[in-house]
C-alpha cells in the first residue's frame, strides 16, 4: 500500500449512485390512474340535476326512490325537501348521463304507486319495491330542468300512436280518467282528462283514441256516454243497453260515425259534443225541429215527454210537453200536448220553411190528423200517431205563436167506445116494460083462441069420425057413385062401338 | 471509529434475511453482497425502505377516497336495490340503534386505515428528516400499525361472505361494488407499506447523531 496516494494529492472520484426510481412507484401510479379513471367516469356520467315539484312526498325517499321510464332506471331522487311556502314538496333528482335529450318542457313526471282506477289495477310491483317516479319523455321543445309532477299518472304516454279529442258535455256523468272509449263495443281508447270548464258551464272530457281507430273519428262522429245500463221503458217496450260490464261499473264513452262518407278523419284536439246516451245522438242528428200544439180531450195516461210521434209507424219526432188546461169558462178541460217533429227524418222534404208550411197545409187538407195510439200493450205507453184520415172532418193548422195548433181526431178505440155508448143509450130508450105488458095480454088472448080451436076440433071429430052417420052415408053414396060410373062407362063403350045405337037402341042380332 | 459499536451495521456486520447468519461485509462494498451460507442477497437495512413505503402510502391514500365514496355493496331485496357506502352503512346501523356494530365497523373500516396512514406518514417524515424525537414511542406506533393492519379486512370478509351466502334470486341478492375493491386495496397497500418500512431506521439516526 506504499503507492497509495496521500489524501489531497489525487482528487477523490465522485461516486454517483445512479439509482433508477424503484418499480414500487408503479403502485401509486396505477392507483392514481384507476382512481382518476373512476372519478372521471363517475363525474362524466353524472346526468343533469332536475327538480320535481310534487303535492306530497308520499312514497318518496331521498337516495332510494328511482326515476324510471319503461322500467329502466334513469335517475335517482337525491333529496326531498319542503317548498319554502310549505305548499308543496320539491324532489331533487339526478338523472343518468344523456338524459338531457328527454328533459323538455313537455316532459311529464308522476309518482307510480299501487292504485286501482279506470277499471285496472296498476303498480302492484311498487308494493314491494316502493314507489318510483315515472316519466313520459318528450324529444322536442325547449330544454327544462324544473318540472311539476302530475297528480295522477297519465293514461296515455306521448309516444303512443293515436289522437286526442276534446268532448264537451253539459254533464260529464261518471266519466273518470281512464274510463274506456268504445267503438262498436271494442275498446279503442281512454279518457285522459275529465274536468269542469273554468266557466263552469260545461265539462270538458279529453279522450285518446289509439291508432288506427283514430281514423274512424270524422267530422260527423258522435260521442255518447255509455256509462252504466241504459234501461228504457218506452212505447217501444223495455230496452236494456250497455257497452260492457266494465263501462257498466266505471263508466265509459262510445263513439260512432253515422254517415261514413268521404269525411276526412278529424284533426287531433278536435272538439265534439258529448251526448247523454246513444239514443240522444240519434235525436240530435236532426237539427231542424218544428213544434206543434195538439189538444186532446181524452185521457193521456201513458203519454210522457219523450213519447214518440209516428207517421204510419215511423218515428218522426217526439212529445215535448204534456199539460192540463181549463178553458176560461171553467167548464171544459183539455190537454195541450206539444210535439216536436223533425222534418229531416222525412226524405226529400222541402228545405224552405214556407214551402214546408205549405206542404203541411196541403197534407192537413187531405186529412192528416194526429191521434193518440197505444204503443205497447205491456207498458200502456201512448204515442202520437199521424196519419191521413180520408173521411175526417175538415180542419186546418192554426199557425199561431208560440206553437201552431195541429188538428187532432179521437183515437179509434175512443171512437168505438163512443159509438157503443150511443148504442147503449138507444137501447136504454126501448120501453121494455110496456112491451112486456102488451105481450102478456096477447098471450092470454092466444090461450083463449087455442081452447076454442080445441073445441072445434072435437066437434069436427064427432061429425066426421069413422062411425058417424055422415061417414056411412058417404060410403054408401060412394058405392053407388062407383056403380053409376061403371054403367056410364059401359054406355060410353056401346056408343063408341055403335054410335047409331044412340038413336036406334041396341042392335038386333 | 470510536466507542463500542452498538449495532451490527456499525460493526460492519449484516444479517442475512433468509438464514439469519451474521456476516462481515467489507466497508467498501455496497452492492452484490451475498450470504456465504444460503446465497441470499445481503442488505444492511431493508432496501429503499423509505421510498417503497412512501409509494405504498401514497397509493393507499389515493385508494382511500374512492373506497369511502363509492358503494361497497348493493342489496337487492324484493326488487328494491339499495347501494351502501361504508359511512352510509354506519349511519344506517346507528339509526337503527345498533351502535356497537356501528362502532366496530367505523373503527375497523374508517378509523383504523386513517390511523395507519397517519402513523406511517409520521414515521416516514420523522425518519426522512433524521429526527431523534422519541424513538421508543415511534417504534411502538410502528408495532401497533403492523398489529392492527389485518383487522381492517373485516369489512371485506363480511362483504365476501354475504355475497356468497345471500343468493336468493329475486328475494334478495347482494353484490359487491367498486368501493369494496378500493377498500381492499387500501388495506393491502397499508399492510405492505408497514411491511416495507424498516423500524431500524428510526434508531439509525439516533445512533449516528449520538456518535
Q: Are residues A269 and A336 in the same domain?
A: no
Q: Are residues A308 and A404 in the same domain?
A: yes
CB B42 within 8 A of CB B34: yes
> Looking at the predicted structure, is the pLDDT value of residue A285 above 80?
no
Residue A477, pLDDT score? 92
Q: Could A129 and B60 be called an inter-chain contact, meaning their C-beta atoms sit closer than 8 Å?
A: no
Q: What's the average model confidence in pLDDT over B29-39? A: 77
Helix (H) or strand (E) holding A36: helix A26-44
- Mutation for B interface: A1, A15, A35, most B CBs within 10 A: A35
Q: Could A31 and B82 be called an inter-chain contact, meaning their C-beta atoms sit closer than 8 Å?
A: no
Q: How far apart are CA A395 and CA A364, in angstroms?
A: 7
A116 touches chain B (CB under 8 A): no
| B5 to A135, A348, B10, B26, B204: CA distances (angstroms) | 80, 136, 5, 16, 12
> Looking at the predicted structure, is the pLDDT value of residue A82 above 60?
yes
- Range of weakest confidence among A348-357, A365-374, A428-437, B152-161: A348-357
Helix (H, G, I), strand (E, B) or coil at A226: coil
Candidates A28, A39, A130; nearest CB to B80: A130
Domain ranges of chain B: 1-44, 48-208
CA A187 to chain centre: 18
Last residue of a domain, one of A422, A446, A480: A422
Q: How far apart are CA B138 and CA B142, in angstroms?
A: 6
Q: How far apart are CA A22 and CA A11, in angstroms?
A: 32
Residue B117, pLDDT score? 92
Asked whether residue A135 is domain-assigned, the answer is yes
Q: Are residues A308 and A405 in the same domain?
A: yes
Q: Are residues A382 and A417 in the same domain?
A: yes
Q: Which domain holds residue A328?
A: 290-422
Residue B2, pLDDT score? 46
> Looking at the predicted structure, is the pLDDT value of residue B3 above 60?
no
Q: Is A178 exposed, middle or buried (0-12, 13-18, 19+ CB in 10 A)?
A: buried
The stretches of B96-199 forming alpha helices (DSSP H) are: 99-105, 112-128, 135-148, 153-165, 178-196
B125's grid cell: 417524515
Last residue of a domain, one of A283, A311, A338: A283
- Range of weakest confidence among A100-114, A168-182, B127-141: A168-182
A329's grid cell: 169558462
b vs e for A61-93, b when ≥16 Cβ sit within 10 Å of the residue's Cβ?
eeebbbbebeeeebbbbeebeeeeeeeebbbeb
> What backbone torsions phi and psi does residue B100 show, to the nearest 5 degrees?
-60, -40
Q: Could A31 and B52 be called an inter-chain contact, meaning their C-beta atoms sit closer than 8 Å?
A: no
Q: Are residues A86 and A184 in the same domain?
A: no
Q: Could B55 and A22 be called an inter-chain contact, meaning their C-beta atoms sit closer than 8 Å?
A: yes
Candidates B51, B178, B185; nearest CB to A24: B51
Q: What's the average model confidence in pLDDT over B94-118? A: 89
- Nearby residues of A260 by Cβ (< 8 Å), 6 or more positions away: A218
Peptide bond into A73 cis (omega under 30): no
- What secondary structure does DSSP assign to A294-307, as a single string? EEE-S--TT--TT-
Asked whether residue A138 is domain-assigned, the answer is yes
Residue A60, pLDDT score? 84
Asked whether residue A500 is domain-assigned, the answer is yes
Asked whether residue A55 is domain-assigned, the answer is yes
Domain tally for chain A?
4
Helix (H, G, I), strand (E, B) or coil at B35: coil
Q: Are residues A299 and A415 in the same domain?
A: yes
Please give, rounded to a whole number of angstroms, the shortest distance from the CA of B102 to a CA of chain A: 20
Candidates A22, A125, A128; nearest CB to B51: A22
> Looking at the predicted structure, is the pLDDT value of residue B97 above 50?
yes
Measured over all CA atoms, what is the biggest interatomic distance in chain B, rounded to whole angstroms? 77
Between residues A400 and A351, the one the model is more confident about: A400
- Range of weakest confidence among A225-234, A428-437, A468-477: A225-234
Asked whether residue A8 is domain-assigned, the answer is no
**Which residue does chain B place closest to A24, by CA atoms?**
B52
Last residue of a domain, one of A117, A148, A179: A148
Length of chain B, please? 211
Q: How far apart are CA A425 and CA A437, in angstroms?
A: 22
Asked whether residue A439 is domain-assigned, the answer is no
Confidence band (pLDDT; 50, 70, 90) for B104?
confident
CB A288 within 8 A of CB A257: no
| CB < 8 Å from A in window 131-190 of B | 178, 182, 185, 189
> What backbone torsions phi and psi does residue A341 show, to the nearest 5 degrees?
-110, 135
Q: What's the average model confidence in pLDDT over B124-153? A: 85
Confidence band (pLDDT; 50, 70, 90) for B57?
very high
- Helix pair B49-69, B86-95: axis angle to 10 deg: 50
> Looking at the predicted structure, is the pLDDT value of residue B175 above 60?
yes
Q: A180-183 and A253-256 as β-strands: parallel, antiparallel, unpaired? A: parallel
Residue B211, pLDDT score? 47
> Looking at the predicted structure, is the pLDDT value of residue A99 above 70?
yes
In tens, the pLDDT along A116-156 reads: 765 567 777 777 777 888 888 888 888 888 888 888 777 77
Helix (H, G, I), strand (E, B) or coil at A453: helix
Asked whether residue A238 is domain-assigned, the answer is yes
Q: How far apart are CA A74 and CA A68, in angstroms?
A: 5
Measured over all CA atoms, what is the biggest interatomic distance in chain A, rounded to whole angstroms? 255
What is the CATH number that goes with domain B48-208? 1.20.140
Candidates B63, B78, B196; nearest CB to A35: B63
Q: Are residues A56 and A117 in the same domain?
A: yes
Q: Are residues A395 and A492 in the same domain?
A: no
Confidence band (pLDDT; 50, 70, 90) for A236?
low
- Whether ipTM exceeds 0.90: no
Q: How far apart are CA A369 and CA A409, in angstroms?
A: 6
Residue A311, pLDDT score? 86
Sign, Cα dihedral of A166, A172, A176, A181: negative
Q: What percent of chain A has pLDDT over 90?
A: 7
Q: What is the mean pLDDT of chain A?
A: 81
Q: How far apart are CA A116 and CA B182, in angstroms?
A: 46
Q: Are residues A241 and A257 in the same domain?
A: yes
Residue A142, pLDDT score? 87
Asked whether residue A6 is domain-assigned, the answer is no
Amino acid at each position: 500500500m506504499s503507492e497509495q496516494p496521500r489524501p489531497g494529492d489525487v482528487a477523490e472520484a465522485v461516486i454517483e449512485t445512479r439509482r433508477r426510481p424503484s418499480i414500487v412507484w408503479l403502485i401509486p401510479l396505477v392507483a392514481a390512474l384507476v382512481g382518476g379513471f373512476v372519478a372521471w367516469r363517475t363525474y362524466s356520467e353524472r346526468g343533469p340535476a332536475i327538480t320535481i315539484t310534487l303535492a306530497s312526498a308520499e312514497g318518496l325517499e331521498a337516495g332510494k326512490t328511482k326515476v324510471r321510464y319503461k322500467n329502466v332506471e334513469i335517475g335517482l331522487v337525491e333529496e326531498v325537501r319542503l317548498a319554502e311556502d310549505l305548499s308543496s314538496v320539491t324532489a331533487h333528482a339526478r338523472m343518468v348521463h344523456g338524459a338531457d335529450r328527454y328533459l323538455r318542457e313537455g316532459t311529464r313526471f308522476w309518482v307510480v304507486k299501487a292504485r286501482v282506477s279506470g277499471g285496472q289495477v296498476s303498480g302492484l310491483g311498487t308494493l314491494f319495491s316502493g314507489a318510483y317516479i315515472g316519466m313520459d319523455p318528450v324529444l322536442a321543445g325547449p330544454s327544462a330542468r324544473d318540472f311539476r309532477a302530475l297528480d295522477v299518472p297519465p293514461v296515455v304516454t306521448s309516444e303512443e300512436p293515436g289522437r286526442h279529442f276534446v268532448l264537451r258535455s253539459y254533464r260529464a256523468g261518471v266519466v273518470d280518467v281512464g274510463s274506456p272509449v268504445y267503438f262498436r263495443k271494442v275498446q279503442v281508447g281512454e279518457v285522459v282528462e275529465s274536468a269542469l270548464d273554468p266557466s263552469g258551464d260545461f265539462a270538458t272530457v279529453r279522450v285518446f283514441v289509439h291508432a288506427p281507430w283514430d281514423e274512424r273519428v270524422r267530422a260527423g262522429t258522435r260521442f255518447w256516454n255509455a256509462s252504466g245500463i241504459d234501461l228504457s221503458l218506452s212505447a217501444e217496450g223495455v230496452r236494456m243497453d250497455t257497452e260492457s260490464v266494465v263501462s257498466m261499473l266505471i263508466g265509459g264513452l262510445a263513439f260512432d260515425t253515422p254517415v261514413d262518407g268521404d269525411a276526412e278523419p278529424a284533426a287531433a284536439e278536435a272538439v265534439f259534443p258529448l251526448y247523454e246516451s246513444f239514443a240522444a245522438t240519434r235525436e240530435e242528428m236532426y237539427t231542424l225541429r218544428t213544434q206543434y200544439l195538439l189538444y186532446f180531450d181524452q185521457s193521456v195516461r201513458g203519454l210522457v215527454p219523450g213519447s214518440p210521434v209516428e207517421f204510419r209507424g215511423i218515428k218522426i219526432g217526439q212529445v215535448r210537453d204534456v199539460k192540463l188546461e181549463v178553458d176560461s169558462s171553467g167548464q171544459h178541460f183539455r190537454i195541450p200536448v206539444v210535439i216536436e217533429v223533425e222534418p229531416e227524418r222525412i226524405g226529400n222534404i222541402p228545405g224552405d220553411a214556407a214551402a214546408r208550411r205549405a206542404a203541411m197545409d196541403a197534407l192537413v187538407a187531405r186529412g192528416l190528423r194526429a191521434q193518440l195510439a197505444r204503443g205497447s200493450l205491456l207498458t200502456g205507453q201512448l204515442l202520437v200517431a199521424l196519419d191521413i184520415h180520408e173521411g175526417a172532418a175538415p180542419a186546418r193548422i192554426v199557425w199561431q205563436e208560440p206553437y201552431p195548433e195541429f188538428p187532432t181526431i179521437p183515437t179509434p178505440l175512443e171512437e168505438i167506445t163512443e159509438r157503443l155508448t150511443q148504442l147503449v143509450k138507444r137501447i136504454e130508450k126501448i120501453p121494455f116494460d110496456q112491451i112486456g105488458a102488451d105481450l102478456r095480454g096477447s098471450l092470454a088472448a092466444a090461450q083463449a083462441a087455442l081452447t076454442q080451436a080445441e073445441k072445434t076440433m072435437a066437434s069436427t071429430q064427432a061429425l066426421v069420425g069413422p062411425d058417424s052417420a055422415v061417414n056411412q052415408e058417404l060410403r054408401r053414396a060412394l058405392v053407388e057413385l062407383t056403380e053409376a060410373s061403371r054403367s056410364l062407362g059401359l054406355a060410353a063403350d056401346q056408343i063408341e062401338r055403335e054410335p047409331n045405337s044412340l038413336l036406334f037402341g041396341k042392335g038386333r042380332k | 471509529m470510536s466507542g463500542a459499536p452498538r449495532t451490527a451495521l456499525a460493526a460492519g456486520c449484516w444479517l442475512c434475511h433468509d438464514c439469519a447468519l451474521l456476516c462481515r461485509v467489507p466497508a467498501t462494498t455496497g452492492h452484490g453482497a451475498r450470504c456465504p451460507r444460503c446465497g441470499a442477497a445481503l442488505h444492511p437495512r431493508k432496501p429503499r425502505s423509505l421510498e417503497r413505503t412512501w409509494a405504498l402510502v401514497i397509493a393507499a391514500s389515493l385508494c382511500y377516497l374512492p373506497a369511502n365514496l363509492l358503494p361497497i355493496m348493493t342489496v337487492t331485496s324484493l326488487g328494491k336495490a339499495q347501494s351502501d357506502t361504508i359511512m352510509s352503512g354506519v349511519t344506517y346501523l346507528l339509526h337503527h340503534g345498533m351502535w356497537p356494530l356501528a362502532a366496530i365497523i367505523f373503527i375497523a373500516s374508517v378509523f383504523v386505515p386513517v390511523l395507519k396512514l397517519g402513523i406511517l406518514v409520521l414515521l416516514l417524515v420523522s425518519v426522512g428528516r433524521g429526527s431523534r424525537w422519541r424513538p421508543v414511542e415511534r417504534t411502538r406506533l410502528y408495532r401497533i400499525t403492523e398489529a392492527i393492519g389485518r383487522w381492517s379486512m373485516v369489512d371485506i370478509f363480511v362483504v365476501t361472505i354475504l355475497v356468497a351466502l345471500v343468493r336468493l334470486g329475486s328475494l334478495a341478492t347482494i353484490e359487491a361494488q367498486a368501493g369494496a375493491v378500493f377498500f381492499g386495496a387500501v388495506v393491502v397497500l397499508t399492510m405492505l407499506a408497514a411491511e416495507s418500512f424498516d423500524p431500524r431506521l428510526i434508531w439509525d439516526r439516533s445512533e449516528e447523531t449520538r456518535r
